[in-house]
Structure 1
Amino acid sequence: MKRTFITMLLGVCICLLGYAQEYQKTALGLTTTLAENTVEIKFYSNEIVRIIKYPKGNQYERESLSVILKPQPVTLKVTDGADALEIASKTLKVQLNKTEGTVRFYKSTGASLLSEKNTGIGFTPVKDNGKDTYAVYQAFNLDADEPIYGLGQHQRGNLNQRNQSYRLEQSNLDDVVPFFQSFKGYGVFWDNYAPTDFTDNAAETSFRSDVGDAIDYYVMYGGNADGVISQMRTLTGKAPLFPLWTYGFWQSKERYKSQYELIDVVKQYRKLGVPLDGIIQDWRYWGNNYLWNAMEFLNPGFPSPDQMVKEVHDLHAHLMISVWSSFGPMTKQYKELAAENMLLNFTTWPESGSEKWPPNPDYPSGVLVYDVYNPKARDIYWKYLNKGLFSLGIDGWWMDSTEPDHLQIKPEDYTNETYLGSFRKVRNAFPLMAVGGVYTHQRAITDDKRVFILTRSAFAGQQRFGANTWSGDTQASWETLRNQIPAGLNFSLSGIPYWNSDIGGFFLHHYRDALHNADYRELYTRWLEFGTFSPMMRSHGTDAPREIYQFGKKGDPIFDTQEKFIKLRYALLPYIYSCAYAITEYNSSMMRALFMDFPEDSKVWDNTEEYMFGKSLLIHPVTRSMYVKANDASNSVADFSKVQSQKTYLPEGTYWYDFWNNEKFEGGQTVERTTPLDIIPVYVKSGTILPIGPDVQYATEKSWDHLTLCVYPGMDGTFTLYEDEFDTYNYEQGAFSTIVFSWDDVHGKLTISKRKGDYQGMLTKRTFSIRLPNGKEKEIVYKGKKVTIKME
């Protein structure tokens, strides 16, 4: 009997020893070795889980450049089943198949979200600058009819990313974010910076990166698109608030050749009474290409840059200036960086020291990109930026070529050794590091001036660095304009909320004498209308100037339409700025795919032509020529005598009001409205409370002491009006106010809540005019106390 007991006890010990060898429970999850690979499952929150895989016997420790979330305390339950290990938070269940080593993801209810493909893991040994590492591959199984979105910005014209394949590598027109989100309410972030192939077909959805020491990705559950975006920003950083003036109208071109020309543009806008908040100085203010990006005004056309900045500010405008990620060999920066071996040796723009086109190879520019991954190099970059430009009072940074320009690509280019390893290994994170370096340095020296960066490229996490990304050097065409809509939407669905495009397209290769070409004039005007409802409204391009007065004068249809929409942008600033607050405070998005707000309506899941601007306005830009008889780039003639029309699908589940005439429609149908040159279809969702601001020449010319509140009945609704000092970071310490407006549709009552918060300069008394679509209007004086108004 005693011998039997001892034998049983020994058996139990052996079983426990085998159990302990199967997996180790960790503070964040568990670690085990299956199918010759170590697998780590780490919960960062109840909604976010990290999966790491690497060959057995290796070690893997890595601090992500994108991820800033520190793992939060999570109560986890581990279940050791016959076929799988299961680890669960209150939101997610993760199952690890013991035989295959594959991972499956479920909601806490048991509903399936995502699964790894059985044969979809790979470690291919490669040498990376002499170091042993791998090309890594992970494939997933998705439902056959499951839409996915994101992956950054691409310009193919599609919204749903199923059945697409991309080479995910930063370029002028493609901004890489290796993240997609599913209509099922989850997202996948592939945390790898190397060039990566994304593939989606009937067999698999996969990421395959050129180099990586491990497979390293995150799965997050948000329930819907907004929730997934919120989780992505929780993981990689929240978006700070831009100054109010950045949401006004911006004028630019390639390029103003003197300070007098630049100042005159601002003066012309003021003289015409057309609103303007920003003017941009493009490249070569530093002089020749050997002085590329010197961050000094060495061009004779800019003899008094301090006076230029003062005059712009005296005209109540702001000045942004072009800076690059590269330096010419005669600059101080180049010499200092070269001495520290902080330059990367590959061909970038400009190729020639001569400004003539095409580049003359006999006179190479010698311009080289700097090692943005090196913190000391970023210090040097800011030192000169601060001394040469920020000290003058420059208001914002146009960080061009942050992908960066990589021309005449050769395999050996990727062997450039950066501070963080080979260029191959960190290639796609370049814009994140470049933009982040400027943001963090400016934040370190002042909180009195918010950072505002316009940049051509982006990577996961870049939203935390005060940057608005534009869509690159596009070619002007109607097709390009159409493609901007899904490009911007997928970018937003990747978790980065601020995006814009060159109004009118950058290059005009298809148009000769564009300013007198009717087809281009119509295209530019329609693009400007689209820009009115973009996170940044900015006119820019080469081959022809784009200032409003280049298109005619008051009384001309083209001029009048442009002026109308620029003024509309300013009237919407209280709405736009409040939407920006929702981005910062609640991880919201400004440019929204229709399915984000109407997920039950399958007709909008892949709508590439319409979108929501904020949560109240449905925008359907006109992206096809309507008024040019002959679509000939050299000899087109406009005919406005016969007004055309455009059909718009209105999502079901709400009523819609035509923004222009207040006509009411039931959702779930396609409607047609006339679209003269000065109209694009804009519809307002019922329940909307839309604040309309004063007629101004610049964003802060007049206080918001008298706002019109346009109320659109049909459903209950709320809107939060946000205000602060408009250009400091004091809001981070609570220096702001909010007023909540609530519409009770059944009783026809609008309640204005008690104002919350305060800040320096806050209005203590103001007037609200409440207006209904039927023309009924009431006016009240508001002093910060709760008030309810009954509307007829």
Structure 2
Amino acid sequence: MYEDFDKKGYLFKRNIADGRKDWIGEGYTSTFYDPFNPAARTAFWKLINEKIYSKGINAWWLDATEPDMHSNISVEKRKEVMNPTFLGSSTKYFNAFPLVNAKGVYEGQRSVNPNERVFILTRSAFSGLQKYAAATWSGDIGARWEDMKAQISAGINFSLSGMPYWTMDIGGFVVEERYEKHQPEHVEEWREMFSRWFQFGAFTPLFRAHGQFPYREFYNVAPESHQAYKSMVYYNQLRYRLMPYIYTLNGKAHHQDYTMMRGLVMDFPADEKVKNIGDSYMFGPSLLVNPVYKFKERSRDVYLPRGQGWYDLFSGQFHKGGQAIKADAAYGKMPVFVKEGSIVPIGPAIQYTSEKTDKPLTLYVYTGKDASFTLYEDEGTNYNYEKGSFSNILITYNEADKNLTIEDREGDFAGMQINRVFNIVILTPKNKKPLDFNQKTDKTINYAG
């Protein structure tokens, strides 16, 4: 393969000429291909299709896409080792490496299997990356409280850049020795930090844990009786119950260029106080997320943007907007508030995102202002939505007459659930209701579209 790529001029050669070796084992001379060359992209896809995709692997983890041909060298040196590119100077094109690299994999997979969705996880990004089915994670971050805090603003700023699919290594990747060695005096801090990070991760575009030892499975973090374990189970289940809401946000990202993880300035531009808030954000149009990033912290200062009231997601308690509050942040609770005038669909417990169920969908209606939500659905695993195979159900609430309306479904797709049940839970400023998946609903609607 190397000889073939070399003969055709598909490789960056400076790393080899300089005799640099990577850090694996005794060290090996290596280089990257030039993805700015369309023929090189095609050849790279042909290689990974033959060796990997054809064997049943159907998702891609594209690491080191800065590009990191040799770790820990300066940006200037990195430009030198990839100069020139097929298109010209590396100084001009360096930052676009992850874009064209993802483009080659995306177009390659769609060329051989146009009906299966592509998924790419890549370590670096460039404007427009989302059109190649790529999400970016924030790299090999540290595993300290301050690293967790830094991820909040990192995700916000990434999203403000116009790219909707951001994620991080929950718990951090590079772990301090005191956690890695499971030193008894530090075990409880690791458990609390990981569970707090997990709470935060449940309200990000992609929810994933990854890192070096210690292992990240719930049962490896803490025993079942531990509050860290219970918290992780709860937030994992909550994430999957929120799938109707989250999948709709993904639909909006594609069809309406929407951003899922939203800096407060995006939704409340008239409120001067939100302009420098980097540790709170909106997840979709309704949920104000406030991660807890300090050890043993059991409350958190939260600013509630003005112009509407806010409901505590978990207790249902109503608060006026335009004020800072000291929010409860018990070990198993991250402060999340729902904007007054919201409809949040919550589904049944599921084990995986594409699990089909005919169980009811519960609409939590947070009154006080008019509200609307358009429930988006499609086939889930293919590209038929590009051909119009998807549906929207508009749900509105009118504060003046207290009426909730579920409009006729628009659109259809193969396998669509025609008849379904909506349970309705109404919250008002004076009638708080906790988030209880077993509570009695206010009304049940049998819907046939």
Q: Say yes or no: TM over 0.5.
A: yes
- SS at structure 1 position matched to 2:131: helix
CA distance in 2 between counterparts of 1:535 and 1:446 reads 26
Matches within 5 A, 1:142-541: 332=1, 334-347=2-15, 352=21, 355-356=24-25, 363-405=26-68, 406-407=70-71, 408-409=73-74, 413=80, 416-509=83-176, 511-513=178-180, 515=182, 517-541=187-211
What's the counterpart of residue 370 of structure 2? 716
Answering whether residue 243 of structure 2 is matched by residue 579 of structure 1, we say: no
Contact 1:436 1:465 in 2 (8 A): yes
- Alpha-carbon shift at residue 695 of structure 1 (Å): 0.7
Which one of 295, 308, 324 corresponds to residue 670 of structure 1?
A: 324
Partner AA of 2:60 in structure 1: W
Query: What do the CA deviations read for 1:421-480 (whole angstroms, capped 9, x no partner)?
Result: 232331111111111111111122223211111000011121211111001110111111
Query: What do the CA deviations read for 1:671-729 (whole angstroms, capped 9, x no partner)?
Result: 22221111010000011111001111112223254100000001001000011100110
CA distance in 2 between counterparts of 1:592 and 1:514 reads 37
- SS at structure 1 position matched to 2:104: helix
Structure 1 pair 445–723 and aligned structure 2 pair: CA distance change class (3 A)? same
CA distance in 2 between counterparts of 1:346 and 1:594 reads 45
Query: What do the CA deviations read for 1:94-131 (whole angstroms, capped 9, x no partner)?
Result: xxxxxxxxxxxxxxxxxxxxxxxxxxxxxxxxxxxxxx
Contact 2:15 2:81 in 1 (8 A): no
Contact 2:14 2:82 in 1 (8 A): no
CA distance in 1 between counterparts of 2:327 and 2:160 reads 29
Query: What do the CA deviations read for 1:718-760 (whole angstroms, capped 9, x no partner)?
Result: 0000111001100111111110000011211100000011111
- SS at structure 2 position matched to 1:710: strand
Contact 2:215 2:221 in 1 (8 A): no
Answering whether residue 352 of structure 2 is matched by residue 698 of structure 1, we say: yes
What's the counterpart of residue 216 of structure 2? 546
- SS at structure 2 position matched to 1:417: coil
What's the counterpart of residue 41 of structure 1? none
Structure 1 pair 429–415 and aligned structure 2 pair: CA distance change class (3 A)? closer
Structure 1 pair 354–734 and aligned structure 2 pair: CA distance change class (3 A)? closer
Query: What do the CA deviations read for 1:265-319 (whole angstroms, capped 9, x no partner)?
Result: xxxxxxxxxxxxxxxxxxxxxxxxxxxxxxxxxxxxxxxxxxxxxxxxxxxxxxx
What's the counterpart of residue 264 of structure 2? 594
CA distance in 2 between counterparts of 1:448 and 1:372 reads 25
Structure 1 pair 734–714 and aligned structure 2 pair: CA distance change class (3 A)? same
Contact 2:393 2:410 in 1 (8 A): yes
- Alpha-carbon shift at residue 418 of structure 1 (Å): 2.1
- SS at structure 1 position matched to 2:48: helix
CA distance in 1 between counterparts of 2:9 and 2:111 reads 26
- Alpha-carbon shift at residue 514 of structure 1 (Å): 5.5
What's the counterpart of residue 562 of structure 1? 232
Contact 2:13 2:81 in 1 (8 A): no
Structure 1 pair 494–781 and aligned structure 2 pair: CA distance change class (3 A)? same
CA distance in 2 between counterparts of 1:452 and 1:371 reads 22
CA distance in 1 between counterparts of 2:223 and 2:231 reads 11
- Alpha-carbon shift at residue 504 of structure 1 (Å): 0.5
Residue identity over aligned pairs, in percent, reads 42
What's the counterpart of residue 285 of structure 2? 615
- Alpha-carbon shift at residue 389 of structure 1 (Å): 1.4
What's the counterpart of residue 156 of structure 1? none
Partner AA of 1:388 in structure 2: K
Partner AA of 2:203 in structure 1: F
Partner AA of 1:762 in structure 2: M
CA distance in 2 between counterparts of 1:602 and 1:532 reads 28
- SS at structure 2 position matched to 1:696: coil
Partner AA of 1:371 in structure 2: D
What's the counterpart of residue 448 of structure 2? 783
Answering whether residue 412 of structure 2 is matched by residue 769 of structure 1, we say: no
Q: Which runs of 5+ in 1 are unaligned?
A: 1-331, 357-362, 628-643, 785-792
Partner AA of 1:399 in structure 2: L
CA distance in 1 between counterparts of 2:22 and 2:397 reads 63
Which one of 751, 759, 772 corresponds to residue 413 of structure 2?
A: 759
Partner AA of 2:373 in structure 1: F
CA distance in 2 between counterparts of 1:781 and 1:425 reads 58
Contact 2:290 2:302 in 1 (8 A): yes
CA distance in 2 between counterparts of 1:511 and 1:395 reads 37
Q: Which protein has the bigger strand share?
A: 1
Contact 2:11 2:31 in 1 (8 A): yes
- Alpha-carbon shift at residue 351 of structure 1 (Å): 6.5
Stretch of structure 1 that moved more, 513-522 or 592-601: 513-522
- Alpha-carbon shift at residue 346 of structure 1 (Å): 4.5
Contact 1:620 1:680 in 2 (8 A): yes
Contact 1:766 1:781 in 2 (8 A): yes
CA distance in 2 between counterparts of 1:353 and 1:462 reads 28
What's the counterpart of residue 400 of structure 2? 746
CA distance in 2 between counterparts of 1:684 and 1:602 reads 20
- Alpha-carbon shift at residue 772 of structure 1 (Å): 1.3
What's the TM-score, normalizing by structure 2? Answer: 0.91
- SS at structure 2 position matched to 1:719: strand
- SS at structure 1 position matched to 2:314: coil
Q: Which has the larger radius of gyration?
A: 1
- SS at structure 2 position matched to 1:529: helix
CA distance in 2 between counterparts of 1:429 and 1:742 reads 42
CA distance in 2 between counterparts of 1:621 and 1:354 reads 36
Structure 1 pair 769–475 and aligned structure 2 pair: CA distance change class (3 A)? same
CA distance in 2 between counterparts of 1:626 and 1:664 reads 26
Structure 1 pair 344–777 and aligned structure 2 pair: CA distance change class (3 A)? same
Contact 1:396 1:451 in 2 (8 A): yes
- SS at structure 2 position matched to 1:454: strand
- SS at structure 2 position matched to 1:732: helix
Contact 2:175 2:213 in 1 (8 A): yes
CA distance in 1 between counterparts of 2:415 and 2:336 reads 34
- Alpha-carbon shift at residue 335 of structure 1 (Å): 2.7
CA distance in 1 between counterparts of 2:329 and 2:82 reads 54
Q: CA RMSD in A?
A: 1.9
- SS at structure 1 position matched to 2:337: strand
Partner AA of 1:425 in structure 2: K
CA distance in 1 between counterparts of 2:290 and 2:20 reads 41
CA distance in 2 between counterparts of 1:529 and 1:595 reads 23
Stretch of structure 1 that moved more, 336-345 or 535-544: 336-345
